[in-house]
């Protein structure tokens, strides 16, 4: 019984210190636009992302504004986006001029990207302990 009380007290104090924040879910409203691997939207290497990831049509991926990196997103993070099924991988980062923004990768489907337009969405991800 004494051991159980000691463990309970230890868990309580660790929770106060934030030691149980590992894999805490983060939720944030952002502006979401879409982009494609076309020369008009990129440079001469339309499938090469900022972290040197090679983008492939059909893979669910996003680019994130750099302020979101400070909130815990990183290369390879898994994100869910309200209104869209499944998980998206963070495989690209945007120019530093953008804030609270994601860009959803639409492969080569320029029409689909234009139809998406600009929307407010909620993104969620698990923040890993640093």
Answer yes or no: is 12 within a domain: no
Domain count, the chain: 1
Answer yes or no: is 3 within a domain: no
13: pLDDT strictly greater than 60? no
Answer yes or no: is 72 within a domain: yes
21 compared with 62, residue with greater pLDDT = 62
Phi and psi at 16, nearest 5°, equal -65, -30
In this prediction, residue 127 carries a pLDDT of 86
In this prediction, residue 68 carries a pLDDT of 97
Answer yes or no: is 106 within a domain: yes
Answer yes or no: is 87 within a domain: yes
In this prediction, residue 4 carries a pLDDT of 46
Answer yes or no: is 32 within a domain: yes
Range of the domain at 86: 23-127
List all residues 6 or more positions away from 103 whose beta carbon is below 8 Å from its beta carbon. Answer: 32, 33, 34, 35, 62, 63, 64, 92, 94
In this prediction, residue 7 carries a pLDDT of 46
CATH number reported for the structural domain that contains residue 43 in this entry: 2.40.40.10
Answer yes or no: is 73 within a domain: yes
The pTM of the full predicted model, rounded to 2 decimals, is 0.78
Answer yes or no: is 4 within a domain: no
């Amino acid at each position: 019984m004494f051991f159980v009380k000691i463990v309970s007290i230890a868990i309580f104090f660790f929770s106060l210190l934030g030691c149980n924040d590992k894999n805490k879910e983060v939720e944030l409203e952002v502006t979401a636009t879409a982009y494609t691997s076309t020369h008009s939207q990129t440079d001469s290497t339309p499938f090469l992302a900022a972290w040197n990831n090679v983008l492939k049509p059909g893979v669910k991926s996003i680019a994130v504004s750099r302020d979101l990196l400070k909130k815990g997103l990183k290369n390879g993070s898994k994100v869910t986006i309200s209104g869209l099924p499944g998980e998206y991988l963070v495989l690209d980062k945007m120019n530093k001029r953008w804030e609270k923004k994601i860009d959803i990768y639409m492969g080569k489907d320029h029409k689909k990207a234009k139809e998406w337009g600009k929307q407010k969405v909620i993104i969620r991800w698990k923040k890993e302990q640093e």
